[in-house]
Chains A and B, each alone.
Chain A
Amino acid sequence: MNDRRSRRDALAPVGFLLLVLIPLILMPLAAVFVFAFRGGAAEFFEALKAREALFAMRFSLLIAFATAAVNAVLGTYAAYVLSKYRFTGERALGIVVNLPVAIPTVVVGTSLLLLWGPIGLLGKALEPLGFRPMFTPLGVLLAHLFVTFPYMLGAVKPVLDELETTYEEAAYTIGASRLQTFRHVLLPALKGGIFSGALLTFAHSLGEFGATVMVSGNLRLRTQTAPLYIFAQFEAGNIAQANAVAAVLAALSFGIFFVLLRYSGRREGER
């Protein structure tokens, strides 16, 4: 059953697709690297060694690790509940957990400010207690958890949905506890899903801009993430500085994407 056309027929459409993709995707990406190295490798590394640039990259990485770790647990739990239990309001809850995909990230930032900020609904009450999450690393983390929440779910829930409940039931009948069942039955099956979900979450957190710019306060050496650093340097006209960090972020994303492709590709091949 092979309805693929022959190689010769493919020439024109593939050529046309490439013609579209080159200016649309490939050339802009290449421009980042061309500009980053235009002043030579020495200037590139000099730009990266700036204290603010190093801090921004470290801070972004730490936030991405934290986001991936928290959402790996929360997202897997959400996927488990939504996949294994039948209850009223199940559909509504399913929509709620996927909502962050549909909401503009700037709106996420605004709504977090209006909740946790000093004039916000909860923030007003918490302010006298000295709890001010906005404009701190915690605020950035909250924004990233919100924005990336659905990625974990999307990676884990389909695996859980496909998984036969009989294995789980068998484990219970031989007297395994919930924890043991999770550890020995569910976790091995979910490992791939959790891994790719966490990687996706990590990658999105690393590049998050819209919500972060609202809640971080953009303070260099304190709450400035790598994308905010790039934007600030670019706005100030320091294109070399902006591009050096942009090139690193782009290379990191390529790396993550590569691992993701390789991993999921192998997994499917093993089946």
Chain B
Amino acid sequence: MAYLRKRALVPLALALASFGWAAWPWFPFSRASAPPRTIVFYGFSILGEVFNEAIFPTFEALWREKSGEEVEVLGSFASSGTITNQVILGVPADLVLVSLELDALRLSEAGVVAAGSWRALPHRGVVNRTPFVILVRPGNPKRIGGFEDLARSGVGVVHPDPLTSGGANWAIVAEYGAGLREYPDRPDAGFMMLRGVWKNVIAQAASARAARTQFENGFGDALVTYEQEALWDRARGKLEADVVYPRRTVLSEHTLAVVDRNVEPAERPIVEAFARFLWSDEAQRLFVRYGFRSVVDEWNAANTAFGRVDDPFTIEDLGGWERAKREIVDGIWKARVLRELK
């Protein structure tokens, strides 16, 4: 018996030590100071770096300077559809930055965001933009110059999944709009373009970020994604692909919403201060540095990596997201293209 106890001593001591280490920050005597105020921010997949590395620390420093108060902004990043569902299901987010206004509309339908409240924010809630581009293998061996080339036989396309990914919805609109604007006199041009591209889709990932990881791992010849993804990788020397700018493509616009259900009245001023900060010169310049296009055009000259798109269009040109979702994503892509390809 005594022997057994002695033998149990080592695991017991290890267990105690690891418990002590784990619980250390929560012991009353080891707490350095009162925990700072927190703002909780949920954003879609490609926002992770710019927010964690630049936006949050800058705002925390500014707020400390202005009010002498410590604030901590915490972020969580996943596909736009995923964070929208998480917020509807009750994660304690104060603000959410979704990839497309459609997800903001879903939030207001669920009653967590006051209807249309984001449209009262600067630029109707749009924080930044980025055009949709095509990434191809180095040297562009398949000679892809635009969306129409993705429809050629023998081209494998990696595409995020429109069910969860905001980027995928943008990509569908980009492909459809490019076809339509190329042949304005042919009413079926958008549908033909979508059918051509989607016949070649070989892999679908949950988010734009996950689709990029698939492409990096060697799947496919082309990836339809945000320009920002490519520029940010290139800026760090990590891009092992060429960027192809289609002549016509959509400029995605990313919408911020304040989650009214979760913001306590006492927290409202600081949450709103953070929201306003996102449109400040300082934040907009940070977005540009990380490869997003600013909503203020003059800042965009600062990033020489931005490529040229001859004929960019926005969702407004297609009648807004409510109509585009109904007519293009559901009406054409889901009801006609997917059915025909089955």
Contact = CB atoms under 8 A, between A and B. Distances in A.
B75 A220 contact: yes
A134 interface: yes
B2 interface: no
A217 interface: yes
A235 B89 contact: no
Contact of B91 (A61, A217, A255): A217
A217 B86 contact: yes
Interface string B79-100: 0000000101111100000000
A179 B87 CA distance: 48
Contact of A219 (B25, B49, B90, B91): B91
Nearest to A68: B15
Interface stretch (A25-33, A97-105, A111-119): A111-119
B117 interface: no
Interface string B1-36: 000000110010010001101111100000000000
A219 B76 contact: yes
Contacts of B92: 135, 217, 219
A218 B77 CA distance: 9
Contacts, number: 67
Interface string B291-332: 000000000000000000000000000000000000000000
A219 B90 CA distance: 13
Nearest to A215: B89
Given A217-B86, A220-B75, A221-B74, A236 B22 contact: no
A219 B40 contact: yes
A204 interface: no
B19 A235 contact: no
Contacts of A263: 11
B55 interface: no
Interface of B: 7-8, 11, 14, 18-19, 21-25, 40, 45, 48-49, 72, 74-78, 86, 88-92, 209-210, 213, 238
